[in-house]
Structures are given as structure tokens and as C-alpha cells.
Amino acid sequence: MERMPVFVKVDEYDDVLNLIKLIRKKLDDAKETLTKINELKNEEDHQVEMWNSTLEEIEKKIDFINHSLNEPEQF
């Protein structure tokens, strides 16, 4: 016997289409928000990197002061 295709009836499918349209809009909003978050994260990373370099610089200067006070004959 030949296999016949079986169909499923979907009522009010235009509601589903409207919902899909809405979900697409929300996905676009989420993408836009994620892009902004990424930009903020990059900016934060830049600030943290600056923090790190400044702390290293301060540490070197403190070391210099420490050596200068502890072993003044070497300078």
C-alpha cells in the first residue's frame, strides 16, 4: 500500500506568525544590548589594564624609596 502523507491541522497559525515576529524583534534587541555590554566590558578591561600598569609603577617607586631608605650607600 502506498504511503500517504499525514497532515497536522494548526489552528490560528497567524497568531504563531505574529509571535515569531515578536521573538525576532526581541532577539534583535538582545543582540543590540549584548553589543553594548561587550563595548562596556572592553572599556572596563582597558581601565583594569591601566590599573595594573599604574600599580606596577607605584610598586617600583615604593621599592626604590624602600631601598633608598634601607641601603642609602648604594645610591
Partner 1 sequence: MGWLFGNKKKVPRVPFPEGLPIEEGNSFKKFNPGSLNLSDKVPKKRIIEPEKIKSAVGIDKGFNFSEDMENMPSMEEESKELPKPTLFPKFSNEKPLFMTKGEPLFIKVDVYQRLLGELDNIKVNVSDLYEANRKLASSEYNEENHFVKLKQTVKQVHDRLLQIDKTLFKS
Which residues of the shown chain bind partner 1 in the complex (CB under 8 A)? 5-14, 17, 24, 51, 58, 65
Smallest distance from the beta carbon of 69 to partner 1, in angstroms? 9
Q: Name which of 69 and 73 has its Cβ closer to partner 1.
A: 69
CB closer to partner 1 out of 5 and 71: 5
Cα separation, 75 vs 63, in Å, equals: 13
Output 7 or 75, the one with its CB closest to partner 1.
Answer: 7
Nearest-approach distance from CB 39 to partner 1, in angstroms: 16
Q: Which three cell numbers stand for residue 52?
A: 595594573
Would you state the cell numbers that stand for residue 31, as one nine-digit string?
A: 543582540
In the complex, least distance from residue 60 CB atom to partner 1, rounded to whole angstroms: 14
Quote the cell numbers at residue 8: 497536522
- C-alpha–C-alpha distance, residues 64 and 70, integer Å: 10
Q: Is 16 helix (H, G, I), strand (E, B) or coil?
A: helix
